[in-house]
Structures are given as structure tokens and as C-alpha cells.
Copies of this chain bind each other. A is one copy, B any other.
Amino acid sequence: MESSRREIEVMANLLGSNDVQAEVNRAHFRKNNCLAINVIGSPGAGKTTLLEKTLPHFTLDLRVGVIEGDIFTSKDADRIAVHKIPVIQINTGGGCHLDSKMVSKVLPEFDWSSMDLMIIENVGNLVCPADFDLGEAFKVIVLSIVEGDDKPSKYPVIFRNAKAVVLNKMDFELLTDVNMETMRHDIRTINPGIEIFEVSCRNGNGLQAWTSWLRHEVEAYKEDKG
């Protein structure tokens, strides 16, 4: 379709320029020996709640920073700031995803002298953020199982591009029609190597496996530098 062709050209240009800046960001994280992750999910999947539950597992002995992407409000950044870690809000002003330039602009606001983990929470959207490399080491998807077991096959791009998926709101499993077999099967069909964590941020089930894995990733990233 004509409009699509035009949009694709426009997107290709935008993505090209985005990728250049993403590599600059990636070099910055590498130089500072800080694992950066890009957390992506629909509105209400539980991204911010997952961060709130994850931070206490790290902040005793590691330095963590958060970049919060939102369209207009600073509600999520306010929730993270309570944990007394550095958090910067990016408001896209209507934009449906973060891009690498938005991220690069806020990097100087952090103290990088001993940062171990930078968590970038993207705008609530399972589609557009998949296409924009921010310079992260890897992407993590947060998916509420209440959204339904057909979501991986309907939104395959993001599942193909992520290193891990956190299936959240598992406390609703028996209250919904979600088929977790289908969910896991479809995710692994799209991306056989992806890590799958089944979590309830509400009752805490499954959080330990997720935080242990993430801690391992932080350590592995530092060793890679070696």
C-alpha cells in the first residue's frame, strides 16, 4: 500500500539514525561497566511494579539507576524515587516509544562512577518499542497473562528480539482462560533461547528466579569486560 511504503521509507531513515546513536549509548554503558536493560510491555502489564519488587534485591550491594519512559506523566518515576535510587523521567510528549537520542540526552544526569545496572522502562506499548534499539545489552518483556495466551503469536517481533520475558500476574492463572502451555509453546517457537519467568508481583511467587537471573546477568556483563 502506498501509505505503508512511504511510512516504511520514513521509518528506515529514522531507524538508521536511531541505530547510530544506540551504538554510542551502548559504548557508554560498556565503558562504565554497567548492564543496561530495556523493559517493554503493554500499558498495565506490570513493568513499574516489577521494578518496585526487583530493586530491593539489588540496592543493598549494587548501584542501580532507572530511566522511566512515559508519554506525559511522571507517575512511574515517582513510584521508583521512593526507593532512593537515581531515576530520570523522559516524557515523549505523545510519542509511542523511547528512542536512543532521548536516552542519550539524560545519560549525563547520572553519576556513572560505580553504576552496575541501568533499567530503562519503555513507554507502555508492545509494538513500537520493539523497533528502537536504545543501546541496551538486551530487552526484557513484561506480559500480563491476563492479556491472553495469543499475545506472543500476535506480537512476535518483540518476542523474537528479547532475551527474557516475565509473565506477570500469575496469581490470576486459575481465574482466567489463559492456557499457559500455549503461552510457553508459542514463546519458545518464536524464540527458542528466551528465558521465561512466571511471576506474581502481588504475592511474590517467582520473583526470586527472576532477580537471581538478572543478578547473574549483571555479573556476567562485568566479567565480559575483563
Contact = CB atoms under 8 A, between A and B. Distances in A.
A149 to B, nearest CB: 10
Interface in A155-182: 155-157, 169, 172, 175
A151 interface: yes
Copies of this chain present in the complex amount to: 2
Contacts of A101: 1-4
B43 A155 contact: yes
A17 B99 CA distance: 25
A5 to B, nearest CB: 10
Contacts of A204: none
Nearest to A157: B94
Contact of A96 (B1, B92, B125, B146): B125
A44 B42 contact: yes
Interface residues of A, number: 50
Interface string A115-132: 000000001111110010
Interface stretch (A69-77, A81-89, A192-200): A69-77
Contacts of A70: 154
Contact of A172 (B124, B128, B146, B153): B146
A59 B101 CA distance: 50
B146 A44 contact: yes
Which of A17, A102, A147 has the most chain B CB within a 10 Å cutoff? A147
Contacts of A73: 153-154
Given A154-B75, A155-B71, A1 B44 contact: no
Given A3-B18, A146-B44, A172-B172, A125 B126 contact: yes
Of A73, A131, A154, chain B has the most CB atoms within 10 Å of the CB of: A154
Interface of A: 1-4, 6-7, 10, 14, 17-18, 21, 42-45, 70-73, 75, 92-96, 99, 101-102, 105, 123-128, 131, 144, 146-148, 150-151, 153-157, 169, 172, 175
Given A2-B101, A10-B10, 4 more contacts: A4-B101, A42-B147, A43-B147, A43-B155
